[in-house]
Amino acid sequence: MATVLLNGSSHVHYGGVKLLNMKDHRLDCGVTDISFKACIQKDLSRVFMSSKFSCIKSHCFQVIFNQNHASRRNPKISCFQDSATKYFDFVVIGSGVAGLRYALEVSKRGSVAVITKAEPHESNTNYAQGGVSAVLCPSDSVENHMRDTIVAGAHLCDEETVRVVCTEGPDRIKELIAIGALFDHGDDGNLHLAREGGHSHRRIVHAADMTGREIERALLKAVDDDPNISIFEHHFAIDLLTSQDESDIYCHGVDTLNTETQQVVRFISKVMLLASGGAGHIYPTTTNPPVATGDGVAMARRAQAVISNMEFVQFHPTALADEGLPIKPKKRRENAFLITEAVRGDGGILYNQSMQRFMPLYDEREELAPRDVVARSIDDQLKKRGEKYVLLDISHKPRQEILAHFPNIAAECLQYGLDITSMPIPVVPAAHYMCGGVQAGLHGETNIKGLYVAGEVACTGLHGANRLASNSLLEALVFARRAVRPSIDHLECSSLNTQDSNMWARPVLPLSLKSNTVQDIMLQTRVIRTELQSIMWEYVGIVRSTSRLKTAEWKIGELELEWEKFLFRRGWEPTMVGLEACEMRNLFCCAKLVVSSALARQESRGLHFTEDFPYLEESKRKPTIILPSSSLKVTWSSRQLHKQPH
C-alpha cells in the first residue's frame, strides 16, 4: 500500500497541508444561504391533515418518527426533505456517547440528524463496563491523572491534549449526572470510585459493571425528549460528500443506505460530526459490537482526511474465553464478552491453567499493569504453554461484594455453569480499541472543513501508544463538548445551495443483478471477511515482526484483488452498494492502514511490539501520520463511490 507516512507533531496545522487535488468534483458553494433552523412545528392535524407529506412553496416537509420510540417521541418536522435527500444544520454519524452528547448541545442552535447503523443503543459505549475516569477525590490531582495517562501511553501522548482532558473531565461527569446518568455511590453518599490497571488512584466513576449502558440510557432519553434531534436508525453511512477549493477540502454531507428499506438516502448539512466508533472487526475476536467495521476511518480516509497512529490496536487482556466455560455457548458470539479491567482493579488475580500466578514474572505492577503489558504477558503464557486461555480469579473476595460490583459478569458466566464467586473465569485477549484514527485538533477539527471527529474514530493525541483504562468515555465526552463551539461558528459562516445535492453521482442498489448473483456475492464476501480477519490475527496481532507485517501487506493486497475481481466479473458496478460489500471495503481500508503504520514504526512502543525492534527509541517518539497521497494504489475501498468510474 503506497502511502505517505510521516513522523511529526501530533497536531497538524491543517491550513498548511497540501492535499490531493480533486478537480473532478469541485462545487460552487455559498450561492444560496438556507437556514435549516426555521423548522416550524404547528398543529400537525392542521398542517399535514391525513397525508404524511405536504408540499409548501415547492419544498417538502416531512414528519419524522423514530420507529422504535414512536409512542414516546414527539413528531419532528425537518425542513426541505424528500425521501432521497434530507437537509439538516448538523449531521452526526454514530449514536454512542460522543455523538449523542454533541447532538444535545448543537441542537440548541439548529436541526440535528443522528445517523446510526443499527438501533441507537448499539454502540461501543453500550458495551463499556468499567467506567469513566476523572479526578473527583481530594487525594487525587490532575497531575496524577496526567502522569498515569502519559505513562500508559508510553510517552507518546500529546501533553496539551492530556491536560485538557484531565482538567475538563470532572465537569463532564457532573453534566452527565445532571442529564440523568445514575452512578454508584458509597456508604458516605459520595460517588464510589473504582481503581483500574495503570491508575495510581481511585478515580473510576461507574454504574456497577454496566457503566456504558447507563450512560447510553441517560443520553438517549435526553435525545428522545429533544424536538430538534431526529434519529435515523438502520442507516449505514457509505461515503462523505466532499468538494475541493484549491488546497481546502469541504464536507457537505453523507450518503447512507437505509438497510431496512434498501433505499439510498443523502444527507446534506453544514456541519458533520463523525463519531462512528472503532474497527474491532478487522480481527476475528473482538469485544466490539458487530457495527464496528471501521466505517468512519475508512470514509474519512477516502475523503482525504489525515490519519494517525493506526498501528496502536489495543487488545483487551481479559475477554471471556468460551472454550473454558463448563457449558459451551451453542453458537459463536458476534463479539466477545468483556471482563472489565475493574475485576483486576478489585483484586482479581491471573493464573495459568496450572493455577500458577504469572503477572509478577512480567511486571512489578502485577495485575494492575497497563493493558498492553498484561495482554502481552497472557499471549506469552499461551504460546509457551500451548493453552487457549488463562484464568482470572476474584473468588477470594466476599460473595456479596463480587455480586454487587460485577452483576452483569456474574449473570453472563452463570448462564454457562460458572459461578465467579467460587470459580476462576477463563479469559483471553481480544481486539478492543483503536488508539489511532482520524487526526483531530483540540476542538475535534480535522483537515476537512466542516468535518469534526470525537470518540474512538478520532486520534486526539490523548492515548498515545496505549489507552489508559476508562479514558475512552472521558475523551469522547470532552471532545464532543469541545467540538460544539467551532461547529456553531462554522454553521453561522457557511452557506449552502440546495441544488448542490445533485452534484455528486448517487450510489445505486444492485437491482440489475439476479438474486442468486447477489446471494453468491454476499456469501463470498463473508468468506473473504473471515480470511482478512485471520490474516490480521496471524500476522498483525499482539506480537509482530517485519517479515510477518510484509506478508500481511502482500496477502491483504492479493485478497482484496481477488474479491474485487469476483464482484466485477459477476456484474457488480463500482457505484453499487450493499451493507456487507460496503463493510468489506471499509475493513480492507482499515486493515491496510494498520499494517502500513505498523511497518513505519521501527521500534516497540505501547501496543505495537515488534520482535525486530524490541526496544523503545527516543528518536522515534513521534506519532505516525498518514497524509492523503495521489500515489495510492486505486482499489474500490480507496475511492469514494461518487468518484468511481461509471
Task: Render pLDDT for 131-177 as a digit per residue (tens, 0 to 9).
Answer: 899 999 999 999 999 999 999 999 999 999 999 999 999 999 999 99
- Coil, helix or strand for 429? strand
Q: Kindly state the average pLDDT of the residues 4-24.
A: 40
Element (H, E) at 596: helix 579-600
Residues 358-407 have pLDDT tens digits of 999 999 999 998 888 999 999 999 999 999 999 999 999 999 999 999 99
Q: In the predicted model, is pLDDT for residue 287 greater than 80?
A: yes
Element (H, E) at 565: helix 546-569
Q: In the predicted model, is pLDDT for residue 643 greater than 70?
A: yes
The reported pLDDT for the residue numbered 1 is 40
Residues 321-340 have pLDDT tens digits of 999 999 999 888 888 999 98
The reported pLDDT for the residue numbered 107 is 97
Q: Which of 387-401, 440-454, 616-630 has the lowest mean pLDDT?
A: 616-630
Smallest CA-to-CA distance from 455 within 317, 280, 296 is with 296
Residues 267-285 have pLDDT tens digits of 999 999 999 999 999 999 9
- 541 neighbors 431 (Cβ within 8 angstroms): no
Residue 28 banded pLDDT, cuts 50, 70, 90: very low
Q: In the predicted model, is pLDDT for residue 84 greater than 70?
A: yes
589 grid coordinates: 481500508
Give dist(CA 646, CA 641) in Å, integer. 10
- DSSP secondary structure of 312-356: -EEEEEEEE-GGGSSS--SS--SSPPB--THHHHTT-EEE-TT--
How far does Cα 112 stand from its chain's mean position? Answer: 20
Give dist(CA 243, CA 328) in Å, integer. 52
Residue 501 banded pLDDT, cuts 50, 70, 90: confident
The reported pLDDT for the residue numbered 24 is 32
Q: Which range, 46-50, 59-63, 310-314, 497-501, is most confident? A: 310-314
Q: CA 376 → CA 286, 500, 543, 602, 627, distances in Å? A: 16, 51, 7, 18, 30
Q: What are the residues facing 257 on neighbouring strands? A: 236, 264
Task: Give the residue numbers marked as catalytic.
Answer: 371
Residue 645 banded pLDDT, cuts 50, 70, 90: low
The reported pLDDT for the residue numbered 198 is 87
- 145 neighbors 444 (Cβ within 8 angstroms): no
The reported pLDDT for the residue numbered 46 is 24
Residues 6+ apart with CB under 8 A from 16: none
- Amino acid sitting at position 284: P
Q: CA 299 → CA 96, 193, 294, 590, distances in Å? A: 18, 38, 9, 10
Residue 592 banded pLDDT, cuts 50, 70, 90: very high
Q: Tell me how far apart the 2 most distant CA atoms of the chain are, in Å.
A: 77
Give dist(CA 157, CA 51) in Å, integer. 55
Q: pLDDT over 90 for what percent of the chain? A: 74
Q: Which range, 24-38, 444-458, 492-506, is most confident? A: 444-458
Smallest CA-to-CA distance from 544 within 602, 504, 585 is with 602
- Amino acid sitting at position 595: V
Q: Which of 88-102, 169-183, 262-276, 492-506 has the lowest mean pLDDT?
A: 492-506
Residues 195-220 have pLDDT tens digits of 888 899 999 999 987 888 899 999 99
Q: Are strands 112-115 and 307-308 parallel, antiparallel or unpaired?
A: unpaired
- 621 neighbors 156 (Cβ within 8 angstroms): yes
